[in-house]
Chain A
Amino acid sequence: MYRFLARRREPPPIGPAGDDAELLAAVAAGRTEALRLLHQRHAPWIRGRLARRCADPDTVDDAIQDTFVAVWRGAHRYRAGEGEVAAWIWPIAIRRLISTLRRTGPAPPATPYDEARLVTESAEDAVLVGVEHGDLGTAVARLSPELRAAIQATVLDGLTVKEAARLLGIPEGTVKTRVMRAKARLRGYLA
């Protein structure tokens, strides 16, 4: 009986090789070293993805900080059956970004898409678009930046209209009309 209890109390070993779900379980048990590993593993891509939605690096860093504090407090809510840990963290991150933006004021314009420095689209890139999206990729490329941003926020990031409005710094009604127009255009391109 005692040995059973002792074994239960002994924290499971975690290391850089541990899988995300195990790390998150250790975070739920209050172990900061597990959170550190998760941060090391996930902060870089979250930063990259948030930076595509907000050009201010300080805001992105604040959002990342809030995200991992939220992960620390909410790790017990993760269920292994719900899918990957990365897919669990991302909605937290994008919503933290939105609340950071609400605190600091409207979103700075997203990183201007620099045509001059852009490497010409290689055959490989074209294949990638084909693999991931097929004709949809070309159709999305033909959308205007505003319509694309609206689609990205509501469809790819899975935000509500309200959240998308806050992220893009435009009224909710505008988000709705842009999403409708973008969908109509895409339907037209793909027809």
Chain B
Amino acid sequence: MTWHPPRDLVERYARGRLDPVLTMSVESHLARCPACRAAVPYEEEWLTASWERIEDLVDRPRPRLATRLLCRFGVPEHVAVFLAATPALARGWLVAMAGVLGFAVAAARLSAQDGPGAADALIPFLVAAPLLPLAGIAAAYGRHVDPAYESQAATPLAGWRALLLRALAVLCCAVALTGAATPLLPGPPGLAAAWLLPALALTAAALALSTRFAPPVSVAALAAAWSGAVAAGPLFAGDLLLAFSPGAQALYALAVPALLALVYLRRARLDPGETR
């Protein structure tokens, strides 16, 4: 470039003391000339302050993918960070969940047979599926599972809100994964989906019991009760699928709202440090 605007013109431009046409003129020159860009005056303190603000943002670790996705869907940032840090949603847990489902589906497919016994092959899957969200909830929140629990407990998000938020996230993930596995099952499609209501009922029951006992204890008790209930069908009534029969399903459907109401009434008991 052979021609440059005089320095004082650039300075007057930077202070807004040029008429509009000269301003445009200087701007179009600055856009193409590094030397004149460097001549634009600035205060050292302003530059330092401006950089410090940028450095502060740039130095921050980038939010995790899950956090960014949740934010994209309108979840407030602090809630998104909290949900993404749920221990029960860590990659290991998700892989374990997928593994259990994979085995159950494989078992069902391998033992599938035609005729009246076709439904029996589904039993391992139907028993395991409701236990998945249950196990996730035991590991969602609490001093035994969350390394950040102590510092977390002192924040405004702690307590029943935190537990319920994470329980909801865990339930959503477990239901989504199990739902994705359901179409792969052999046997009648209605029966393959019979895990959904027991899963919801057991989750609600786990939360309700957690208002009285520690979540891992409640979950262990419920898992035992669920296995017992499934086993009771063939032992006492001679029906392998008694726990999944329409009557039982109606019972689960009735239990879910009742248990959720109970959780809501006793929610204060879920707070950390509260005697259970």
A95 within 8 A of B: no
Q: Check if B50 sits within 8 Å of A129, measured CB to CB.
A: no
Contact of B59 among A32, A44, A90, A137 (CB under 8 A): A32
Over the window 132-145 of chain A, the binary record of Cβ atoms lying under 8 Å from chain B Cβ atoms (1 yes, 0 no) is 11000110110001
B237 within 8 A of A: no
Per the bound structure, the CA–CA distance linking A181 and B58 in Å amounts to 44
Contact of B37 among A32, A86, A148 (CB under 8 A): A86
Contact of A65 among B19, B24, B53 (CB under 8 A): B53
Over the window 61-95 of chain A, the binary record of Cβ atoms lying under 8 Å from chain B Cβ atoms (1 yes, 0 no) is 10011001100100000000000101100100000
Per the bound structure, the CA–CA distance linking A191 and B176 in Å amounts to 69
Q: Check if A132 sits within 8 Å of B41, measured CB to CB.
A: no
- Within 8 Å CB of A44, what residues of B? 14, 37, 40-42, 47
Q: Which one of B27-35, B108-116, B221-229, B266-274 is at the interface? A: B27-35
Among A42, A52, A113, A141, max chain B CB count under 10 A is at A52
- Within 8 Å CB of B59, what residues of A? 32
Q: Check if B55 sits within 8 Å of A32, measured CB to CB.
A: yes
Contact of B5 among A114, A119, A128 (CB under 8 A): A128
Q: Which one of A33-41, A100-108, A165-173 is at the interface? A: A33-41
B188 within 8 A of A: no
Q: Check if A117 sits within 8 Å of B17, measured CB to CB.
A: yes
Q: Contacts A32-B58, A86-B37 hold; do A61 and B21 have CB atoms under 8 A apart? A: no
Q: Contacts A32-B55, A69-B58, A156-B27 hold; do A51 and B3 have CB atoms under 8 A apart? A: no
B92 within 8 A of A: no
Q: Check if B23 sits within 8 Å of A52, measured CB to CB.
A: yes
Per the bound structure, the CA–CA distance linking A61 and B46 in Å amounts to 9
- Please report the number of residue pairs spanning A and B whose Cβ atoms sit closer than 8 angstroms: 111
Per the bound structure, the CA–CA distance linking A52 and B17 in Å amounts to 10
- Within 8 Å CB of B31, what residues of A? 86-87, 90
Q: Check if A137 sits within 8 Å of B21, measured CB to CB.
A: yes
A111 within 8 A of B: yes
- Within 8 Å CB of B30, what residues of A? 45, 49
B9 within 8 A of A: yes
B154 within 8 A of A: no
B54 within 8 A of A: yes
Per the bound structure, the CA–CA distance linking A30 and B3 in Å amounts to 37
Number of A residues near B (Cβ < 8 Å) is 48
Per the bound structure, the CA–CA distance linking A29 and B50 in Å amounts to 22
Q: Check if B24 sits within 8 Å of A36, measured CB to CB.
A: no
Q: Contacts A48-B40, A61-B50 hold; do A156 and B24 have CB atoms under 8 A apart? A: yes
Q: Check if B58 sits within 8 Å of A51, measured CB to CB.
A: no
- State the main secondary structure of chain A at its contact with B: helix
How close is B3's CB to chain A, nearest CB, in angstroms?
6
Q: Contacts A128-B5, A131-B3, A156-B27 hold; do A141 and B50 have CB atoms under 8 A apart? A: no
Per the bound structure, the CA–CA distance linking A141 and B21 in Å amounts to 6
Among A114, A125, A152, max chain B CB count under 10 A is at A125
A124 within 8 A of B: yes
Which residue in chain B gives the minimum CB-CB distance to A69? B57
Per the bound structure, the CA–CA distance linking A5 and B152 in Å amounts to 43
Per the bound structure, the CA–CA distance linking A45 and B29 in Å amounts to 12
B161 within 8 A of A: no
Over the window 150-177 of chain B, the binary record of Cβ atoms lying under 8 Å from chain A Cβ atoms (1 yes, 0 no) is 0000000000000000000000000000
Q: Check if A43 sits within 8 Å of B27, measured CB to CB.
A: no
A185 within 8 A of B: no
- Within 8 Å CB of B50, what residues of A? 39, 43, 61, 64-65
Contact of B54 among A52, A68, A113 (CB under 8 A): A68
B6 within 8 A of A: yes
Top 3 nearest A-B pairs (CB, nearest first) are A44-B42, A48-B14, A132-B25
**What is the interface of chain A, defined by CB distance below 8 A to chain B?**
20, 32, 35-36, 39-45, 47-49, 51-52, 61, 64-65, 68-69, 72, 84, 86-87, 90, 111, 113-114, 117-119, 121, 124-125, 128-129, 131-133, 137-138, 140-141, 145, 148, 152, 156
Given contacts A48-B14, A124-B6, 11 further A-B contacts (CB under 8 A): A39-B54, A41-B37, A52-B23, A65-B57, A72-B58, A114-B17, A118-B18, A128-B5, A140-B21, A141-B19, A141-B20
